[in-house]
């Protein structure tokens, strides 16, 4: 949960409750990632992973410019300038250096598959590799690259979809995706997407996953860095459902269907991270103003079950309820 909600405190709380936490490397500099790893280690002695964004191909500049023209009134209303819609690789190579040199237990990748050379390099540093996949072809690519673990992300998942090409929104529900992937790989598979409680967890484990990956359920915990407007939108049920849109970042992602998402859904081009940089000042200004209608409010389909309980309480309850369900 990059961009704010993920914190060392949240990672450590999940780890100490018996789960396996992740540090979100997305949008951090290499130095900030190193600091987050160090801070997490001061809070827990348990192993944890680091999640990394695989760089996307640059988008069409003319399409980004055209989208910017539709957002000028938003910028004027909020009293800020639009961001520079530029492409970058999110310090990918530098972050790999940090992961390889800091004895990280596992690196997970999303938005694409690391090359076999990257996987080999991490393996030589005793780092395990997981890849988020949303289809059988993607799982085969990840397997061929040498991944140790697959994370099957169903359509129910909140936040950015892990699709390698982002050509269309993922429409495969998690249980169906698991069934398809498990027929074609011998690798262990983690299930992700819309999982909020013990019964969800039990269903995914009974379908053949070795574990589940949770995100939305932790958004309103005390340990999360989720902003006040974001928390209010979730807890007060301000919006009735979710939408999968490129409006905020130029890459398909599921979040609450607020005004910005609905009004700009069909205008945004396939251009990540250009659109992310373009809209970032708008989202930041709206958050500072307490406006829930403009920021991205990533959430999976199970979002109405979000609570304000501590992360450890949630993790332990889900594990206990899943065991009670027979797994």
In a domain, 264, yes or no: yes
Average of per-residue pLDDT across 304-321 = 97
Residue 231 domain-assigned (yes or no): no
Contact 7, 224 (CB under 8 A): yes
Q: From 236, 225, 190, select the one nearest 24 (Cα to Cα).
A: 225
Longest dimension (CA), the chain: 56
Identify whether 114 is part of a domain: no
On whether residue 248 sits in a domain, the answer given is yes
- Tokens at 231, concatenated: 């928390």
**Listed residue (86, 92, 91, 90) closest to 275, CA to CA:** 86
**pLDDT at position 170, please?**
82
pLDDT of residue 130: 98
Residue 130 included in any domain: no
274 assigned to some structural domain: yes
Angle formed at CA 125 by CA 151 and CA 42, multiple of 5 degrees: 80
The model's pTM is 0.95
Condensed to tens digits (0 to 9), the pLDDT of residues 78-125 reads: 999 999 999 999 999 999 999 999 999 999 999 999 999 999 999 999
Strands (E), 193-313: 211-213, 242-245, 253-256
Q: How confident is the model at residue 316 (pLDDT cuts 50, 70, 90)?
A: very high
Q: In the 8-state DSSP scheme, what is residue 60?
A: -
307 assigned to some structural domain:
no
pLDDT of residue 168: 86
* Distance, CA of 253 to CA of 243 (rounded, Å): 8
Tell me what pLDDT residue 326 has.
80
- pLDDT of 134 reads 97
pLDDT digit string, tens, across residues 211-239: 999 999 999 999 999 999 999 999 999 99
Residue 177 lies in a domain: no
What domain count does the chain have? 1
Q: What is the rounded distance in angstroms from the CA atom of residue 146 to the CA atom of residue 120?
A: 8
- The answer on pLDDT for 137 being more than 90 is yes
160-180 per-position pLDDT tens digit: 999 999 988 889 999 999 999
Q: Which domain holds residue 269?
A: 61-88+240-296
């Amino acid at each position: 949960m990059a961009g704010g909600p993920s914190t060392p405190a949240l990672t450590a709380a999940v780890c100490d409750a018996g789960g396996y936490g992740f540090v979100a490397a997305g949008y951090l500099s290499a130095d900030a990632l190193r600091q987050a790893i160090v801070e997490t280690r001061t809070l827990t002695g348990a192993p944890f992973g680091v999640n990394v964004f695989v760089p996307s191909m640059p988008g069409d500049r003319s399409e980004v410019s055209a989208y910017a023209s539709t957002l000028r009134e938003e910028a004027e209303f909020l009293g800020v300038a639009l961001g520079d819609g530029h492409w970058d690789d999110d310090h990918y190579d530098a972050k790999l250096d940090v992961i390889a040199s800091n004895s990280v237990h596992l690196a997970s990748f999303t938005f694409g598959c690391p090359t076999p050379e990257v996987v080999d390099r991490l393996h030589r540093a005793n780092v395990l590799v997981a890849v988020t996949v949303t289809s059988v072809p993607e799982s085969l690519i990840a397997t061929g690259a040498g991944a140790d673990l697959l994370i099957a992300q169903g359509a129910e998942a909140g936040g950015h979809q892990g699709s390698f090409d982002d050509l269309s929104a993922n429409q495969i529900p998690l249980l169906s995706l698991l069934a398809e992937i498990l027929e074609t790989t011998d690798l262990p598979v983690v299930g992700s997407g819309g999982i909020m409680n013990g019964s969800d967890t039990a269903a995914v484990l009974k379908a053949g996953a070795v574990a589940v990956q949770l995100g939305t359920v932790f958004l309103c915990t005390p340990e999360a860095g989720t902003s006040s407007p974001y928390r209010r939108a979730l807890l007060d049920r301000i919006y009735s459902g979710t939408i999968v849109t490129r409006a905020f970042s130029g890459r398909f992602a599921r979040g609450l269907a607020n005004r910005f998402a609905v009004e700009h859904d069909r205008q945004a081009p396939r251009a990540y991270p250009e659109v992310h940089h373009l809209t970032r000042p708008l989202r930041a200004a709206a958050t500072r103003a307490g406006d829930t209608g403009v920021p991205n409010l990533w959430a999976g389909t199970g979002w109405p079950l979000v609570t304000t309980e501590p992360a450890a309480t949630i993790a332990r309850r889900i594990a206990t309820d899943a065991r009670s369900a027979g797994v």
